[in-house]
């Protein structure tokens, strides 16, 4: 028997066809839902490939990759299953084009437009509809090769793809930033207003793939871990200082639009860290975060506002503690009766609270006090400065939000390591057993809930000041969903996860208009995929790390057995 030759009959063709059909379904979905045509307007590499085309390319590559995993064939013709599955997926697109020629698909699906067909056939009309099959076969084969590569050669490929994606996305922003500096010429060379230039793509790929190979993460980590503690500090502290400096300079480097966006990102980092306590540590799914956000926002607006609704002319700094306090009181009043109910009902009840607050804020009943849909205007900034000042506009909000986020992270970290944090985690893991071990459920939950509410109020107060106004239309369910998505995608209970989650889930859609149309589609997919594959999140907490030093102090193994000490 010849092991190196693939035999036609050995291939599990049923599975291959199934993967191919799923690939076709995904590709057609990307087209009809509008991602392909809408993202086609944003080039990744100018005049070479658009983001819309990239999405199809990735789907076809993934088809090949999954096929190779499903039908694990070796030998010279081992790419055959991947190519077939890829061709089937591509054929789905061909079928879409032909179908579009025969009947008016657009009567139902808005995106089944000539523009879409043009993208799929490279402008050659129905005659070019077969191109998709060929491309599908090629990419499917490529994907299945990729799946079989050893990790060492797959890593640079992954870096390659990620570099192009990131570079293409942020090219415009980087270009704008560089144009006002002596690097303007370089900026024009590497970056187009939208997407990388060809030169830029080559430079970026060489730089990043090279760098990631030279300083590979695990190798660096192993090296650092191998050092003596004093040496480690010598490496980590300067790095931390550089990171801190970069975080502080960020709003000045990239222009006012980006400054506004990252102020919002910082605000969501803050709120994500707040919900991280409620949801991440204590496992309470709070879908009514926006209710406390609203309490905070309206408190600040009313207490500082110079409009007709203002009831006091306080400075921001005097109002914000009250925003937090009211939100906490509110959280206690709502939380006390509902925290006794079971977890999934809690989610619905809090969702109900959020909706009640949203409707009330916009109702005629409360509009004499809260301004209803016309809102409360003229909420002052915390610090009054000239427009050209270092702290002008959103920048001061950014710094305030970052400071608050650091504070919350600190609080969360300290609590996590205490009796209270352990009680929260135990409730999240199994609240019945936790109670049987002497943990008072309502008391423990209410603390998490009220702290979360307080941080939501803080976020709301800062938001009112950032925007300079508060309208009932700002009080929406999506505020709650944003924050929940940040916590879940980042990893429940993880502090860096919340930061990362906010950057991706808030920053990217705010920076790029195309994304903001599809942000909730993406959130939905992300929530499902996270639960299916990584329920512990992208950056899960390492629970055990802290105990290391205690265990190392252990006594000898055969110490006399000691009875538990009696409590006094």
Interactions with another protein, residue window 186-215 (CB under 8 A): none
**Residue 40 corresponds to which tokens in the numbers above?**
């086609």
**Does 442 participate in binding another protein (rule CB under 8 A)?**
yes
The number of residues that bind another protein (CB under 8 A) is 101
Longest dimension (CA), the chain: 89
Considering only residues 457 through 496, tell me which ones interact with another protein, judged by CB under 8 A: 481, 484, 488
Could you give the 3-state DSSP secondary structure of residue 278?
Answer: helix
The three-point CA angle 367-372-376 to 5° equals 100
**Chain CA centroid to CA 407, Å:** 21
- The distance of closest approach from Cβ of residue 556 to another protein in the complex, given in angstroms and rounded to an integer, is 10
Candidates 439, 458, 475, 495: give the one binding another protein (CB under 8 A): 439
| Stretch touching another protein by CB under 8 A, among 153-161, 167-175, 245-253, 555-563 | 555-563
Considering only residues 7 through 36, tell me which ones interact with another protein, judged by CB under 8 A: 29, 32-35
Report the residue number, 427 or 467, with the smaller CB distance to another protein: 427
| Stretch touching another protein by CB under 8 A, among 96-104, 159-167, 239-247, 423-431 | 423-431
Report the residue number, 212 or 367, with the smaller CB distance to another protein: 367
Q: Is-contact 16 84, C-beta < 8 A?
A: yes
Candidates 15, 17, 250, 360: give the one binding another protein (CB under 8 A): 360
- The distance of closest approach from Cβ of residue 126 to another protein in the complex, given in angstroms and rounded to an integer, is 23
> Which residue has tokens 């990307």?
30
Backbone angles phi, psi at 44, to 5 degrees: -90, -50
Considering only residues 254 through 283, tell me which ones interact with another protein, judged by CB under 8 A: 283
Considering only residues 122 through 151, tell me which ones interact with another protein, judged by CB under 8 A: none
Report the residue number, 388 or 568, with the smaller CB distance to another protein: 568
- The distance of closest approach from Cβ of residue 418 to another protein in the complex, given in angstroms and rounded to an integer, is 4
Q: How far, CA to CA in Å, does 382 sit from each of 72, 323, 388, 407, 443? A: 62, 14, 16, 18, 35
| Stretch touching another protein by CB under 8 A, among 166-174, 229-237, 265-273, 363-371 | 363-371
Task: Report d(CA 394, CA 310) in Å as an integer.
Answer: 22
Q: Is-contact 69 29, C-beta < 8 A?
A: no
Task: Report d(CA 425, CA 423) in Å as an integer.
Answer: 5
Task: Report d(CA 522, CA 515) in Å as an integer.
Answer: 9
- The distance of closest approach from Cβ of residue 307 to another protein in the complex, given in angstroms and rounded to an integer, is 21
Task: Report d(CA 9, CA 311) in Å as an integer.
Answer: 81
With CA atoms as reference, report the closest residue to 448 among 409, 406, 490, 415. Answer: 415
Candidates 7, 74, 414, 513: give the one binding another protein (CB under 8 A): 414
Task: Report d(CA 462, CA 271) in Å as an integer.
Answer: 11
Instruction: Show the DSSP H helices in 339-418 as ranges.
Output: 343-362, 367-370, 394-416
- The distance of closest approach from Cβ of residue 75 to another protein in the complex, given in angstroms and rounded to an integer, is 32
- The distance of closest approach from Cβ of residue 33 to another protein in the complex, given in angstroms and rounded to an integer, is 3
Considering only residues 227 through 256, tell me which ones interact with another protein, judged by CB under 8 A: none
Cβ atoms < 10 Å from Cβ of 383: 16
- The distance of closest approach from Cβ of residue 476 to another protein in the complex, given in angstroms and rounded to an integer, is 12
**Does 225 participate in binding another protein (rule CB under 8 A)?**
no
Report the residue number, 346 or 379, with the smaller CB distance to another protein: 346
**Does 348 participate in binding another protein (rule CB under 8 A)?**
yes
Sign of CA dihedral 339, 340, 341, 343: positive
Considering only residues 326 through 345, tell me which ones interact with another protein, judged by CB under 8 A: 332-333, 336-338, 340-345
Report the residue number, 57 or 439, with the smaller CB distance to another protein: 439
Candidates 423, 464, 467, 486: give the one binding another protein (CB under 8 A): 423
Q: Which residues contact 343 (CB under 8 A, 6 or more apart)?
A: 283, 284, 285, 431
With CA atoms as reference, report the closest residue to 159 among 219, 194, 211, 198. Answer: 211
Cβ atoms < 10 Å from Cβ of 429: 10
Residue window 38-77: x/- pattern of binding to another protein, with contact defined by CB under 8 A: ----------------------------------------
Considering only residues 85 through 124, tell me which ones interact with another protein, judged by CB under 8 A: 107-111
With CA atoms as reference, report the closest residue to 303 among 292, 315, 312. Answer: 312
Question: Angle at which helices 441-467 and 394-416 pack, to 10 degrees?
Answer: 170
Sign of CA dihedral 483, 484, 489, 491: positive
Considering only residues 278 through 297, tell me which ones interact with another protein, judged by CB under 8 A: 283, 285, 287
- The distance of closest approach from Cβ of residue 346 to another protein in the complex, given in angstroms and rounded to an integer, is 8
| Stretch touching another protein by CB under 8 A, among 59-67, 249-257, 508-516, 519-527 | 519-527
Candidates 179, 352, 468, 503: give the one binding another protein (CB under 8 A): 352
Candidates 28, 328, 409, 434: give the one binding another protein (CB under 8 A): 434
């Amino acid at each position: 028997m010849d092991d190196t030759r693939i035999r036609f009959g050995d291939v599990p063709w049923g599975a291959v066809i199934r993967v191919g059909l799923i690939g076709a379904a995904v590709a057609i979905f990307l087209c009809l839902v509008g991602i392909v045509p809408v993202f086609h307007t944003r080039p990744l590499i100018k005049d070479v490939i658009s983001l819309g085309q990239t999405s199809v390319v990735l789907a076809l590559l993934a088809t090949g990759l999954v096929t190779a995993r499903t039908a694990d064939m070796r030998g010279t013709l081992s790419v055959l299953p991947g190519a077939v599955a890829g061709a089937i997926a591509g054929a789905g697109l061909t079928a879409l084009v032909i179908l579009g020629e025969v009947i008016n698909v657009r009567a139902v699906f808005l995106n089944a437009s000539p523009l879409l067909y043009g993208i799929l056939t490279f402008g050659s009309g129905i005659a070019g509809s077969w191109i998709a099959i060929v491309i599908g076969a090629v990419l499917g084969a490529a994907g299945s090769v990729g799946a079989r590569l050893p990790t060492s050669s797959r890593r640079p490929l992954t870096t390659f793809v990620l570099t192009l994606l990131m570079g293409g996305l942020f090219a415009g922003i980087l270009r704008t930033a560089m144009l006002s500096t002596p690097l303007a010429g370089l900026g024009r060379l590497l970056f187009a207003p939208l997407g990388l230039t060809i030169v830029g793509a080559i430079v970026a790929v060489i730089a990043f793939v090279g760098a990631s190979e030279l300083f590979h993460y695990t190798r660096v980590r192993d090296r650092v871990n191998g050092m003596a503690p004093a040496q480690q500090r010598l490496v980590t502290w300067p790095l931390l200082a550089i990171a801190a400096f970069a975080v502080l300079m960020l709003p000045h480097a990239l222009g006012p639009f980006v400054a506004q966006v990252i102020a919002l990102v910082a605000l969501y980092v803050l709120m994500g860290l707040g919900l991280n306590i409620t949801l991440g540590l204590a496992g309470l799914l709070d879908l009514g975060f926006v209710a406390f956000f609203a309490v905070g926002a309206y408190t600040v607006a009313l207490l500082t506002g110079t409009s007709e609704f203002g009831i006091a002319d306080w400075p921001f700094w005097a109002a914000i503690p009250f925003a937090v306090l009211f939100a906490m009181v509110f959280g206690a009043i709502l939380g006390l009766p509902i925290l006794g109910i079971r977890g999934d009902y809690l989610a619905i009840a809090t969702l109900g609270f959020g909706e009640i607050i949203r409707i009330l804020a916009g109702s005629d009943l409360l509009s004499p006090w809260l301004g209803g849909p016309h809102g409360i205007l003229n909420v002052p900034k915390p610090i009054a400065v000239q427009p050209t000042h270092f702290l002008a506009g959103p920048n001061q909000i950014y710094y305030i939000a970052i400071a608050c986020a650091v504070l919350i992270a600190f609080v969360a970290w300290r609590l996590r390591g205490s009796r209270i944090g352990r009680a929260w985690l135990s409730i999240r893991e199994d609240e019945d057993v936790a109670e049987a071990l002497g943990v008072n459920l309502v008391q423990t939950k209410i603390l998490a809930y009220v702290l979360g509410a307080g941080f939501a109020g803080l976020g709301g107060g800062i938001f009112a000041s950032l925007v300079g106004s508060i309208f009932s239309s700002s009080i929406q369910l999506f505020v709650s969903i944003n924050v929940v998505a940040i916590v879940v995608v980042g990893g429940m209970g993880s502090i860096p996860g919340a930061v990362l989650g906010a950057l991706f889930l808030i920053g990217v859609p705010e920076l790029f208009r195309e994304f903001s149309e599809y942000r909730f589609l993406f959130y939905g997919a992300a929530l499902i995929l996270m639960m299916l594959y990584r329920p512990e999140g992208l950056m899960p907490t390492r629970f055990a790390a802290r105990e290391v030093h205690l265990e190392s102090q252990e006594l000898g193994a055969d110490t006399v057995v000691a009875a538990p000490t009696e409590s006094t």
